[in-house]
Amino acid sequence: MKNILRLSATLAFAAVTFSASAQTTQPDSTLKPATLDTARYDSLYKRLANGDKTGKWPVKNAPLPKAGAILPFYRVVAYYGNMYSKNMGVLGQYDPATMREKLKAEVKNWEAADPGTPVKPALHYICVTAQADAGSNGLHNLRMPFSQIDKAIEMAKPLNALVFLDIQVGYSTVQKELPLLEKYLKMPNVHFGIDPEFSMKEGSVPGKRIGTFDADDINYVTKYLSKLCDKYNLPPKIFVVHRFTKRMVTNYKDIKLDSNVQFVMDMDGWGGPELKKGTYKAYVAGEPVQFTGFKLFYKNDIKKVPNHMMTPKEVLMLKPAPIYIQYQ
């Protein structure tokens, strides 16, 4: 399991407005054009199946996205973590300038491995972290102050990178946590992720047992994000769900797709290449929804023999080929 951020002091969302820097308008390639190139979209979507012979990919009857969709025109390569912790991912391990240079190097690696797919860099920031302690709210989670979310958005600007806000709800729910982030999610370059591992519906302490989300939870998020897109005239949002066991996502066949939301099931397990490929085949490729993602761990993937983190070329051999890549 992933490390859980523990802080001695309980933080709350700061009741403040955006800083001037957070409100600054930046040129953004996610701003949607007038129309979608449907022929190119279909061609690229079919290409992601990567020769799959199961008949599951490409997903049948998936809706076309609205104009401005990022996937599959681009591959997203993201750095994951929280600035308060060096153990949760690279966002907390390096100063911003060093982190950006490392991310730029990974972007080049992926563009070299698949020259036909341009890459968008991204920062995947955990803005609600699960906690072993119940905390003052009793929810076993810690909401990052807005100042930290502002920092993540500022860190992304020099790369014109996307930002993903990720939540580990603990004893809370997506229905309670998602609306608190609306002022960020109405930004065209800000997207969303949820981590079932830390959704403790059965009352276990986070980190002691793997949690779960149901299709109903996922559909709530999709509907909420879709309404935001309509309300603020936004291009489609990318919605990432992490997964490495069957129980983490229940009733996947009931997950509803939406033209305003691009759904990614992200293989989140760590270990050697064969273990990761098996997990991907069983719980991501084997239970198709729309798009797929793959997570790489700089430290955990090399802990055991053969002490090897998969390369972009190795990941691109998967069927289907992941279009979202995350590094922790």
- DSSP letters spanning 107-145: HHHHHHH-TTS-EEEEEEEEEEEE-SS--TTSSSEEEPP
Judged on CB neighbours under 10 Å (0-12, 13-18, 19+), 65 is: buried
- How far apart (Å, rounded) are the C-alpha atoms in residues 19 and 24? 9
Is residue 149 within 8 A of residue 165, CB to CB? The reply is yes
Measured N-to-C along each axis, helices 96-113 and 146-156 cross at an angle, to the nearest 10 degrees, of 50
**Predicted TM-score of the model (pTM):** 0.90
pLDDT of residue 33: 55
| Euclidean distance between CA atoms 287 and 307, whole angstroms | 29
Residues 6+ apart with CB under 8 A from 178: 167, 192, 220, 221, 224
Q: According to the model, what pLDDT value does residue 88 have?
A: 83
- pLDDT score for 311: 98
Q: What is the pLDDT along the chain (328 residues), one digit of tens a residue?
A: 444 443 333 333 333 333 333 333 444 444 555 799 999 999 999 999 999 999 999 999 999 999 999 999 999 999 999 988 888 888 989 999 999 999 999 999 999 999 999 999 999 999 999 999 999 889 999 999 999 999 999 999 999 999 999 999 999 999 999 999 999 999 999 999 999 999 999 999 999 999 999 999 999 999 999 999 999 999 999 999 999 999 999 999 999 999 999 999 999 999 999 999 999 999 999 999 999 999 999 999 999 999 999 999 999 999 999 999 999 9
